[in-house]
Amino acid sequence: MRRTITSAALVATLLLIGPVPAVASPAPAADPARGAVAPAERKLPLTARLIGRQALPANDGWAAAGPGTTGGSTAADDQVHVVRTRAELVQALGGDNATNRTNDTPKLIYVDGTIDGFEGADGALLSCADLADPGYTLEAYLAAYDPAVWGRVAPSGPVEAARVRSVTNQTRHTQINVGPNTTIVGLRGATLTGLTLMIDSADNVIVRNVTFDDARDCFPAWSPTDGESGNWNSQYDQVSVRRSENVWVDHNTFTDGDNPDSAQPVHFGRPYQVHDGSLDVTHTASLVTASFNRFVGRDKLMLIGSSNTVGPDVGRLNVTLHHNVFDGVLQRLPRVRFGQVDIYNNYYRLSGEGFEYAIGVGVQSAVYAQNNYFTLGSGITAADLLYDWSGTAITTRGNWVHEAGRLPRGVDLVAAYNAQHDPDLSPDAGWTPTLRTGPVLPAPLVPLTVQALAGANRLPL
């Protein structure tokens, strides 16, 4: 029996991989297949050069819509870089972090080793204290806005103003701005830590084979009216996609490393949360494909749409999630507003007391969830996988659930949710995805197949 399962998974993997995806045709001087490559590429393996020049395959999710996603695959010789420091990364993206988001020159950037967003100009690491405004300390903030003294109203006054200035200081340094027509590829072991990769008003971007680690906020805000008891909220995602189209995020790993929110102290009776999302798609962004990524041990993961306000987001926020691993993560897997979001062949391994939900059905969202596999820890059932954030409908087909102590089985996620919650969700989101490449695997084949392929350092770099 074991041999049969293994053989089936192998066949599924080969079908899933299929032919090598098309590689964009760069300028003749930069064609790695002929050996005439940019100087920065000459010492790289041929596979790295090919992957760097690769465009998103046709029909591979929403990012294949319109002109498709080619990133920096056509970068000229002088726009190919291997970077090892924060300063080199900023230089490769255009030279000035404040204006790099408008640099639309095609560029291909290979990340070698670990780059820390807290690196100073001299290469030494800055601390939170180095970025803090002189008027801010956490001790002063806690003393000023203790609900027992301040009450349940939003912080204001000199200490809060100093915190905001501190956030501005950190944003200037740890938020790395990416411009249009860019490909960022990590070489084996590449890590971006302590930073946010900001893709804002930047169409046609590819990010692959990078481990994103600990995009921490030095200056979280206390929000006393967020929930019944208030919450600490952080500023920084690991990758943030805003006002952009045709973005492909592939074969990356997202983690908090050795600094998880679960290890943070409690202030004002609430966990002091220093992290925000892994991959957020907001502010009218659209046409995004996230494939073969691994999300490990995080709380808030993926927000698609940041406001319930009916307006510019309508008709936007179209995202495809396929063949990703969600491992030990707690919520927003994803949480969706407005967009048509295709979620298929993902593997969810969910457990822990802090688990809240997997897929959030938000305002005017249209989620299509097909052939995903959920392995659930003790105390989590199929009825807990969806959450109603003022949405009305979600299509779920072919999904399997393996609850603790029970055999795996196919489950109608909407029916399971409706059996225990009111009001009911409709089982028809009103659309059927067409932008898919390769076969959709039966859900029972997803865990073994996707775990073998998803995450950083799985591509042949």
- Give the whole-angstrom CA distance, residue 35 versus residue 30: 8
Condensed to tens digits (0 to 9), the pLDDT of residues 306-322 reads 999 999 999 999 999 99
What beta strand segments (E) does 328-433 contain?
Answer: 335-336, 340-344, 347-350, 359-362, 366-370, 373-376, 386-389, 394-397, 400-402, 409-410
**332-342: average pLDDT:** 98
Is-cis flag, bond preceding 334, omega within 30? yes
What b-and-e string marks burial along 40-54, b requiring 16 or more CB atoms within 10 Å of the CB?
A: bbeebeeebbbbbbb
- Give the whole-angstrom CA distance, residue 241 versus residue 257: 22
Percentage of the chain modeled with pLDDT above 70: 92
pLDDT above 70: residue 22: no
- Give the whole-angstrom CA distance, residue 50 versus residue 236: 32
Nearest in space to 372 (alpha carbons), one of 401, 350, 352, 406? 401
**401-422: average pLDDT:** 97
Kindly indicate the confidence band of residue 36, based on its pLDDT and cuts at 50, 70 and 90: low
Contact 301, 278 (CB under 8 A): yes
The contacts of residue 128 (CB under 8 Å, 6+ apart) are 170, 218, 219
**369-383: average pLDDT:** 97
pLDDT above 50: residue 19: no
**54-63: average pLDDT:** 98
Amino acid at 62: W
- Give the whole-angstrom CA distance, residue 262 versus residue 391: 29
Task: Retrieve residue 402's tokens.
Answer: 């393996």
pLDDT above 90: residue 223: yes
Higher-pLDDT residue of 29, 425: 425
Question: What's the mean per-residue pLDDT of the chain?
Answer: 92
Nearest in space to 460 (alpha carbons), one of 11, 7, 24, 44? 44
- Give the whole-angstrom CA distance, residue 237 versus residue 223: 18
Nearest in space to 54 (alpha carbons), one of 80, 34, 74, 81? 74
Task: Retrieve residue 10's tokens.
Answer: 């192998």
Higher-pLDDT residue of 192, 11: 192
The contacts of residue 227 (CB under 8 Å, 6+ apart) are none
Following DSSP, what letter does each residue of 179-224 receive, concatenated? -SSEEEEEPTT-EEES-EEEEES--SEEEES-EEE----SSPEEET
Condensed to tens digits (0 to 9), the pLDDT of residues 131-170 reads 999 999 999 999 999 999 999 999 999 999 999 999 999 9
Which pLDDT score, from 0 to 100, does residue 352 have? Answer: 86
- Give the whole-angstrom CA distance, residue 39 versus residue 7: 43
Give, as one character, the DSSP assignment of residue 284. T
- Give the whole-angstrom CA distance, residue 191 versus residue 182: 18
Phi, psi at residue 178, to the nearest 5°?
-110, 135
User: Residue 123: which region, alpha, beta or left (left: phi > 0; alpha: psi -120 to 50)?
Assistant: left
Which pLDDT score, from 0 to 100, does residue 58 have? Answer: 97
Which pLDDT score, from 0 to 100, does residue 353 have? Answer: 85
pLDDT above 70: residue 15: no
The contacts of residue 266 (CB under 8 Å, 6+ apart) are 272
Contact 244, 173 (CB under 8 A): no
pLDDT above 80: residue 392: yes
Is-cis flag, bond preceding 32, omega within 30? no
Higher-pLDDT residue of 283, 41: 283
Catalytic status, residue 332:
yes
- Beta-strand pair 107-111/182-186: parallel
Nearest in space to 109 (alpha carbons), one of 245, 237, 207? 207
Nearest in space to 191 (alpha carbons), one of 174, 211, 177? 211
- Tell me which residue has tokens 């939900």: 357
Higher-pLDDT residue of 36, 95: 95
pLDDT above 50: residue 4: no
Following DSSP, what letter does each residue of 140-178 receive, concatenated? HHHHHH-HHHH-SS---SHHHHHHHHHHHHHHHHHEEEE
pLDDT above 50: residue 10: no
**414-430: average pLDDT:** 98
Which pLDDT score, from 0 to 100, does residue 217 have? Answer: 98
Task: Retrieve residue 414's tokens.
Answer: 């909407």
Kindly indicate the confidence band of residue 42, based on its pLDDT and cuts at 50, 70 and 90: confident
Distance of alpha carbon 246 from its chain centroid, rounded? Answer: 15
Task: Retrieve residue 204's tokens.
Answer: 């046609």
Which pLDDT score, from 0 to 100, does residue 299 have? Answer: 92
Kindly indicate the confidence band of residue 262, based on its pLDDT and cuts at 50, 70 and 90: confident
Kindly indicate the confidence band of residue 13, based on its pLDDT and cuts at 50, 70 and 90: very low
Residue of 332, 335, 337, 349 marked active site: 332
Condensed to tens digits (0 to 9), the pLDDT of residues 238-251 reads 999 999 999 999 99
User: Residue 34: which region, alpha, beta or left (left: phi > 0; alpha: psi -120 to 50)?
Assistant: alpha
What are the distances in angstroms from CA 167 to CA 12, 129, 297, 358, 453?
47, 12, 25, 30, 37
pLDDT above 80: residue 23: no
**382-411: average pLDDT:** 98
Percentage of the chain modeled with pLDDT above 90: 89
Which pLDDT score, from 0 to 100, does residue 40 have? Answer: 82
